[in-house]
Structure 1
């Protein structure tokens, strides 16, 4: 079975113990391993459609080669299985479309752009052909793994994208790159973020001061727009509760953060293999450990790069949370007002139930009297009065209706006055 056929079938991924080479025990619940783009081995390089062959190369050390994932074929099965472990590395090629005027693309921009293969593209890695994976039925194109083609030392990649003469209109601009995918355990991921991804409180304070001191351009209006404070939301977009560890991407420009643990736990895992159980819906049977998808790391607020290696803990909001917890307002505040020099004050949350009770009390004042303690006095139920024709009030009302009906309609005379 060739490499291309294996790539097209998207073989199952399993987590193994690197020392014993045995598959990890079955577990259910949150994903324990994360996959993300650790770095770019090549590019992103601009590869517009042209009658040339793009020749690229990158180096792999012996240490990196020892960490690469590998495939095996279990006994009695036809399809291979990709074996992953904590710290394993994978290599894949990908192509993306960009603006026509774009001459370069940063790594942060690359990781949030969807894969887009040209209509015609030819790829070789170390002399072996690689075929792209196109998703049918209005789906998205998929990257191609080249981990089995990697060798120690210099690796050569050849890419050719012929021109599309049959298409009219502007030609798309393509970028090509080789990615290094890392598989990391959740505990190690959190430890790395806490150790190397902490932003000092002064960074957020300076960003807030810059927004409060925004000056209008001299060409439009010759005055400065100044604000006393800026509102910062503390609620996590996933749980609607205040964050435990506030993080944001290094490229994010917003002040708001999201919770680190909620962000990691909500990353979608790879499609688990089918088990031999008889359940069709809501199956709770344990499944093999599978890592998360490596392309689901877009910031939930601005859709920019939010990979584990790009996450930064906001020390200013960490101190804000500690202050709210010390004052006993942690569960009563979801936003704060921040002024110059980082001075902030909490914004109390209005209780919907209390507000509804106040409205009911106001409505009840019009319908009944209150006791001395402020509660509504019980009112006797309304009684319906049955009146007969012998009742003088009924007779008087009937007489009035009869007289009104007998009176002729009032005639209004219109007098015309000549000028």
Structure 2
């Protein structure tokens, strides 16, 4: 009889920065996946969170997790953090976690992780140990996951509503499938820079920029010579100017899962306020079939791409920047003919997909640039993204290969 069951475990930080002000919620992210060859039970596995590695302060106080800070004099060396303040911490993270069986699993195991996020409360005892300006890493102390109680069960808790236990705990220990489980590494910041509120509006143009040709009932054919245009306006509702990057590698705080950024978190597609005439910035737009709700154009997921990139540290070109002054809208006329060309007859909705942008306070212009790029010291500033999104949804109808936007 086996005395342990191996669970593949991954640990990461939700963001690479812990905002000590609490404005940006911070979590330690755990990912669990049942993929051991000996795990052949078809039932879900239910485990109690309290007292396990998921109960982070308790786990640190009782040696299930370790916490280290980077040596300021040697970036390759990590120093154990004094956890004396956690000595009196009791197991208290409530709830249970259910892990689906690997039996008859069809997706790749990397897509089968059960994710648990421990919220690091800025007012909690653990936060009092963390000092702004320092970098920390949290790791598993051993293969032991510290799970005090678990069972094979279709239920989501160990007790019925009347408080009577509904399962006996299994005697087998749950352990990590390998000696390490990655780590949650993060830097503590006293506070973060936040962008102003940006308002984005969309509407159809009633004529093309180059002619008075009416778009109503315009033929959806690239050979017809007609085009379909959107007018997009972006307004900075803050009190100060900001400079926004509209194309190229975007660099800002992004959310992570257990071992990689969340889907579409890394997105270097051209933003909708880009001014380059070479290609309409339609990658932020989606066309939805109004009858079915299906996204028929613009549904491609960009994915996370490589976790490291030769362009990741490249400074943006100044020509790829746009300045948003307070109360002064930036207006873009976007040819979306390629997006709607060839649609089947029916009713559609055009909407904008939310996208983040790198940004800076004030106006970053050519006079501050270095070789036509943003100065290096500005590229080291870590920010939360400036988000471009719109609540506007534009309706159009296609009949006999012609589009009508007058709905």
TM-score scaled by length of structure 1: 0.26
Point out the structure with the larger strand share: 2
Point out the structure with the larger helix share: 1
Q: Which has the larger radius of gyration?
A: 1
